Amino acid sequence: MSRCIADSQLAPPHMAAMPRQLCWVKIAQLHCWYNMGNLLKVLTCTDLEQEPNFFLDFENAQPTEAERDVWEQVDVVLKDAKGILDELQSYKGAGQEIREAIQNPSDEALQEQAWVAVVPLVGKLKKFYEFSQRLEAALHSLLGALTNETHSDPTQHLEREQALAKQFAEILHFTLRFDELKMTNPAIQNDFSYYRRTLSRMRINNVPAEGENEVNNELANRISLFYADATPMLKTLSDGTTKFVSENKTLPIENTTDCLSTMASVCKVMLETPEYRSRFNSEETVSFCLRVMVGVIILYDYVHPVGAFAKSSKIDMKGCIKVLKDQPPNSVEGLLNALRYTTKHLNDESTNKTIKSMLQ
């Protein structure tokens, strides 16, 4: 239970020497604070709608009994996430075989070599696409748990369900990392385009197509649309979050948007507060927090009616951009580009000119 400061004797030491009247004014400005295990809440009253100010343990949070059912469902999906990233990072493509086949259209041996090289790669691309569907389902489970009426506000949800908040963060971290790798690998779309063209030609010529059963025409259309997007995983999550809101009509949209804005604020505060940042056991947690912060901003921008950049937004966009720009430039350019090019409302007329100039 929170305990509010209600007596001048409880004033912080640096206020002890203040005149009595001024001291009481300062005390009146302080919010409630309390400590819950790994969670430390500090002076939450700020100019930005009482921005949440607490430590969320992304490194060590473990599920409580109340969280366990959802946590276990999502954990099955997240266990496969690292393998997906490893496979994507090592994806080399069949560029050479495809070029030789195209340059020598009458050489059946080269056509066969290209087809044999492409088919297993398409199997991988299908696997990545199917994982995106599993990820969307996991996101729905987490949003359901983190936005229900169990707790009175999103801060309480994130404080008391830290293991689920950590999983939500891990999904966002995976999503941005996947899209970063995909954007720097043109072989993915080239391979799939060649596969579809060749498959179409084989059908016209009534040639049996090994691998057709693995990716039929309907599935190929969906996979093609998936990879046509610059950031396919982020689009999956954005569409999935919008779908979650539309399917849960009895749940106020604020439950979802406030959950997202609170997560963004928590990440920002942890990154800019030396006391919190010093608790990270690994420097990788810094990049993790940065990706999560950007991920929830983008989701908020898609789900909230006026987006993340509007004056009424509950996200301190200037503060978040400043945190990003305070990092080594080569480590955050991809995240800044994600805000520049994958958000929905940045270029709206209502967006503050200062925010636009900060992202130029």
218, burial (CB in 10 Å: exposed 0-12, middle 13-18, buried 19+): exposed
Between residues 348 and 117, the one the model is more confident about: 117
**pLDDT at residue 149 tops 80:** no
- Least confident stretch, 99-103, 146-150, 178-182, 224-228: 146-150
CB 116 within 8 A of CB 135: no
Q: Indicate the length of the chain as a whole number.
A: 360
What tokens does 50 get? Answer: 């009482």
Which pair of structure tokens corresponds to residue 78?
A: 């997240």
Q: What is the pLDDT of residues 325-340, one digit of tens each?
A: 988 878 888 888 889 9
What percentage of the chain exceeds 90 in pLDDT? Answer: 39
Task: Choose between 153 and 187: higher pLDDT.
Answer: 187
Residue 223: which of 305, 133, 324 has the closest Cα? 133
pLDDT exceeds cutoff 50 at 35? no
Helix locations, the chain, DSSP H: 20-29, 68-89, 95-103, 108-147, 154-160, 162-183, 187-204, 217-228, 232-247, 253-272, 274-277, 284-303, 317-325, 329-341, 353-358
What phi and psi values does residue 316 have, to the nearest 5 degrees?
-80, 85
pLDDT in tens, 282-293: 888 888 999 999
**What percent of the chain is modeled with pLDDT above 70?**
80
In degrees to the nearest 10, what's the CA dihedral of 61, 63, 67, 70? 90
Q: pLDDT-derived band of residue 318, with 50, 70 and 90 as boundaries?
A: very high
E strands, the chain, where?
Answer: 35-36, 39-40
The pTM for the full model equals 0.78
Residue 167 has pLDDT above 60, yes or no: yes
Q: How confident is residue 310, by pLDDT bands cut at 50, 70 and 90?
A: confident
How far apart are the C-alpha atoms of 284 and 114, rounded to whole Å?
39
pLDDT at 151: 58
In the three-class reduction of DSSP (H, G, I as helix; E, B as strand; rest coil), residue 35 is classed as strand
pLDDT of residue 142: 92
Phi-psi region of 207 (alpha: psi -120 to 50; beta: other; left: phi over 0): beta
CA atoms within 13 A on the CB side of 353: 0
Asked whether residue 236 carries a pLDDT value surpassing 90, the answer given is yes
Query: Under DSSP, is residue 3 helix (H, G, I), strand (E, B) or coil?
Result: strand
CA 36 → CA 4, 56, 266, distances in Å?
A: 15, 11, 16
